[in-house]
Amino acid sequence: MTSHVRKSNSNFYNIAFTIMFKITGKRQWLLMTMTSILFFECIVIINNTRHIGQLQFATFISSSWEVTTLLGLESKVSSVNLPPRCTIPLNSSTWNHFDALVDENVELTSRVRRLLSPRNDSHADNETIIGEEVGEGIDENRIIPHLLIFTHKDDIFNCSVSASNLTMSPNLHTLAENAKATVRAYHRVWPDVQYVFLSDEDCIDSLNRTEPELIPFFNDANLEGKYKADLCRAAYLVLHGGYYFDVDLLVVKPYVAPTNTTLVTVLSNGDKDFFQAFIAAEKGNPILLRSLRIMLEMLRKDRITRGYLGPTSLIDASMEVLNVTDVSSVINGENDGLHLLTECHLADTNPSSKCKELIGAVVPKELGSEFMQRTPSGYGLKCQDPQWNWCNYVVLDDSSSIGGQQLYFYSRVVGTTYCGKACTE
């Protein structure tokens, strides 16, 4: 009886905390309320000492810690109240070019949604997600929370703070507007969606609470930003769960994890590696937790490094936790909640490729050119193809649980280092 009452009280308090914070938006109000209820809990424990064992007391302490964690998270997480599109600080050919890329990416997603859902072509604008109804995907029993996670060395969501950096790097303007579009897209299917933009300080805090020995490596000036992102996203997802996006991932249609799914990521083109621009996970996912330790071993040179830090560690962790020898053999829905999407090139013509079949099922052959990413011309710039051109890769799901193949993302937005022509004045 005591245990049942304790659990009910805990559930009631957690609900009450959430409601009060949403209504007031005042951190101090919640702190006062928490203090009052914790005091009440202490009275209950003192009065019922003979009936409450060590396990229940530990549960009380754990519940109190979770509330404290919630306070820290809520102070950082934002509801969908994004600032408007940033005004370009310089009226130069280069800045106008990158501003035009924002419009090109918006036009591409609208065009692709319209082509994939012809019956809804009159509504395929930037704010309408074809094939999804407003509010679809709200599941009170969901495992993965409706939290969108981004990270970058610059606070690209904040126009005023990042103005000086944007002046030096106009492509950040394109990335910022793309990330905002991701949040708006998910808000159409999840009115309760929240987002968080992680700074270096947030990343260090997450590492300190998961794998503190990684902090010196994160602080190493010689460690590339992409590897710091590997450490940060894994740690934050372990602590809170949610949907992580690289800021250059272009959302065509919001991906919603199937029921009972605990981890989602992407098999890269060729099924040899993971493409980590998108990861969705439950809080405390054991595969991600194991991947943090593997990254530590790799950075210490205690483990053979076969490839990139993040993808290699996640593959190894998946094989260890799931006890498999080949992640590409994973069958969605049959491996402890792991669900794998697939990255393919739109022009894959290899007859033995899984991608050729997938693309053929999703993209009408006669309309293939309409799905291709383009770089706007003009503005008097000198443009040339980049050294690495990884445009026109898309992320799909061929799971039967969603009613057939679906196209969700472009792997890279036009206007990044690896996608789009390099243009200079």
Q: Does one domain contain both 111 and 146?
A: yes
Residue with tokens 């792997």: 411
Q: Does one domain contain both 295 and 370?
A: yes
Q: Does one domain contain both 185 and 57?
A: no
Q: Residue 297 falls within a domain, yes or no?
A: yes
Q: Does one domain contain both 71 and 111?
A: no
- pLDDT per position in the chain (425 positions), as tens? 433 333 334 444 444 444 443 444 444 434 444 444 444 444 333 344 333 333 333 333 333 334 334 334 444 677 777 778 888 888 888 888 888 899 999 999 999 999 987 544 444 444 444 334 444 545 555 799 999 999 988 888 887 755 555 555 788 888 999 999 999 999 999 999 999 999 999 999 999 999 999 999 999 999 999 999 999 999 999 999 999 999 999 999 999 998 889 999 999 876 678 999 999 999 999 999 999 999 999 999 999 878 889 999 999 999 999 998 888 777 776 767 899 999 999 988 777 778 888 898 888 888 889 999 987 776 777 777 766 788 999 999 987 555 568 899 999 998 887 887 767 77
- The number of angstroms, rounded, from the C-alpha of 73 to the middle of its chain's C-alpha atoms is 16
Helix extents (H) in 77-170: 93-116, 163-168
- Per residue in 387-406, is it b (16+ CB within 10 Å) or e — as a string? eeeebbbbbbbbbeeeeebb
> What's the pLDDT score for residue 82?
72
> What's the pLDDT score for residue 386?
67
Q: Does one domain contain both 142 and 207?
A: yes
Residue 394, phi then psi, degrees to nearest 5? -125, 160
Q: Residue 42 falls within a domain, yes or no?
A: yes
Number of domains in the chain: 2
Q: Does one domain contain both 280 and 311?
A: yes
> What's the pLDDT score for residue 403?
54
Q: Does one domain contain both 120 and 26?
A: no
Q: Does one domain contain both 254 and 332?
A: yes
Residue 264: which domain range?
Answer: 98-424
Q: How far is it, in rounded angstroms, from Cα 183 to Cα 197?
A: 11
Q: Does one domain contain both 58 and 182?
A: no
Q: Does one domain contain both 104 and 72?
A: no
Q: Residue 90 falls within a domain, yes or no?
A: no
Q: Residue 385 falls within a domain, yes or no?
A: yes
> What's the pLDDT score for residue 275?
92
What six digits make up the tokens of 241? Answer: 């769960």
Q: How far is it, in rounded angstroms, from Cα 420 to Cα 174?
A: 12
Q: Does one domain contain both 266 and 214?
A: yes
Q: Residue 326 falls within a domain, yes or no?
A: yes
Q: Residue 368 falls within a domain, yes or no?
A: yes
What SS3 state is found at 339?
A: strand
Q: How far is it, in rounded angstroms, from Cα 328 to Cα 271?
A: 6
Q: Does one domain contain both 52 and 120?
A: no
